[in-house]
Structure 1
Amino acid sequence: MFRRLKNLIKGFVGLFISGLEKANPRALIEAEKENLRQQIARFNDNLATHAGFVERLMRQIKNQEKEEQDLAAKTAAHLKLGHRQTAGQYALRLKSLRQQLEENRAQLEQAEQTYQKLLKARDVSVREAQQKIDALKRMISEAEMLEAQAELQEMAQGMISSIGGAGDTLSRVEEYLTERRDKAAGRARVAAGSIDSSQVELMEAEQEALGDQALAEFAAAYGLEMPAAEAAETAAAEDRGEAAPPVKDLGPAVPES
């Protein structure tokens, strides 16, 4: 049970860390760069230790080469002097030294090759890691740029939708106003059609008769003579700027018998 609970907690922690890594890729890259620097530092320490071993071998070989020359000279000198036993001892030491010298030279060659391989491996690994980091940085920049473009396109699409919605609203307002105008025109037409023209003409005739009556009363009161109907029509036409009605010609007068 505790193992299952432990696995569950580890799973939640892993999901939380994965979410943080996805949300902060730059921080993750910086952490990897720091980790790479630490690994390079440790590798350089080990490489320096190996280089120190190579230097010790080189120094030991130089000392052995000097000792070889010294033993060879002593062996030759004692041999010339006839000291065979002493010369033999120096010869044995020289032989053993030469064997050690050959072994050290072989170790030095192998150590030098190993050092060069390690140095090359370090440079290649660092260069490859740097290339990956640079590629990830470019990917982050591209992702951010594409996200910005997508956001702008979504905003533009939203603006287009908003403008389209406003256009629909204006169309509805125009439709409402057109309907209102047509309805008002119809009401006016119905009201105009409901007026009785005969009644209007009757009222107009009554007003004209009342006007003539009032005018006659006025003329009688002031002792004025009322003009004849034809003269009145002619004067009214002249006042309106119209031509006077033509005088009807009834032909020549017939003489009385």
Structure 2
Amino acid sequence: MFKRFANLMKGFFGLFVTGLEKKKPEALLELERENLRKQIAQYNQGLAAHAGLCERLITQVNKLETDERELRAKTTALLRVNNREAAGQTALRLQTVQRELAENRTQAEQAEKTYQELRRARDVAIKNAQAKIEALRFSLDDLKIKKATAELNEMAAGMITQIGGSGDTLARLQTLIEEERQSAAGRARVARDSLDISGVALKEAEQKALEEQALADFAANEGITVQSNQAPEKPEEGGSTKTMGPLKE
């Protein structure tokens, strides 16, 4: 029972972490870069230790080669002076050195070969990891571009929908304006039809008649002959007819 509960908690925690990773892929990518740097540093430490072993073996081989030369020369010199006992001892030591030298040479060659293989494997692993990281970075940048493009498209679609919706409002406004315009035209027509044009014309005729009468009375009082709808005529010079304005001498 406890194991099932633990598995359930692990599942919930895994879903939570997965959600965080989806929200922050840049942070996850940076974490992988940091992990790669740490792994490379640890690998280099092990590689450095192996390189130190190679150097110790090479140093040991060089020392044994020197010992071999010295023992060979010493054995030859003792044998020439017929010191067989001492020559036998140095010859025995020479054989031991030669065996150790052969073993150390083999170990040094294998260690150097292993070092080169490890270094090559490190370089290949680093290149593969860097290629994967670069591919992920490119994919992440492409994801950002696609998300931005999708948001712009959704925004444009929303704007188009809003513009299309405002067209209904404009249509209703145009209908209301047209109705008001027609109503105002109808009211103007009704007011024009209800206006008594004949009374206006009669008043206008009466006004003109009064003006003509006043003008006739004025001309009669002044002794001016006035023709209908014409300017008053001036009398001849020397006559007894009165004229408007001062008399000429």
The reply to whether TM is greater than 0.5 is yes
**Alignment match, 1:159:** 159
TM-score, scaled relative to structure 2: 0.73
Give the drift of 1:192: 8.8
What is the alpha-carbon distance in structure 1 between the residues aligned to residue 177 and residue 36 of structure 2? 74
The aligned residue for residue 83 of structure 1 is 83
Q: Which amino acid in the other structure matches residue 67 of structure 1?
A: D
1:100-159 per-residue CA deviation (whole Å, 9 max, x = no partner) reads 111111111111011111111112211221222222222212211221121112111111
Moved more, 173-182 or 63-72: 173-182
Q: Give 1:5 deviation, angstroms.
A: 1.0
Q: Equivalents in 1 of 2:105, 2:29: separation in Å? A: 45
Distance 1:85 1:78 in 2: 9
Query: What's the CA shift for 1:54?
Result: 0.5
The correspondence of residues 192-211 of structure 1 with structure 2, limited to 5 A, is: none
For 1:50-61, list aligned pairs within 5 A. 50-61=50-61
Return the letter of the residue paired with 1:26: E
SS at match of 1:142: helix
Code of the residue aligned with 2:60 in structure 1: it is: Q
What's the secondary structure of 2:99's corresponding residue?
helix
Aligned to 1:30: 30
| Structure 2: 5+ residue stretches without partners | 211-227, 231-249
Which deviates more from structure 2 when the two are superposed, residues 184-193 or residues 56-65?
184-193
AA aligned opposite 2:125: S
Mapping of residues 73-222 of structure 1, within 5 Å? 73-182=73-182
Identity, % of aligned positions: 51
Deviation at 1:176, TM superposition (A): 3.1
- State the aligned residue count: 207
Q: Structure 1: how far apart are the matches of 2:192 and 2:87?
A: 155
Q: CA deviation at 1:84?
A: 2.0
- Which position in structure 2 is the counterpart of 1:47? 47
2: distance between equivalents of 1:26 and 1:16? 17
Question: Please, what TM-score do these two structures have when normalized by structure 1?
Answer: 0.71
Q: Tell me which amino acid in the other structure corresponds to 2:108.
A: L
Runs of 4 or more, structure 1, over 2 Å off, are: 175-193
CA RMSD, 1 decimal: 2.8
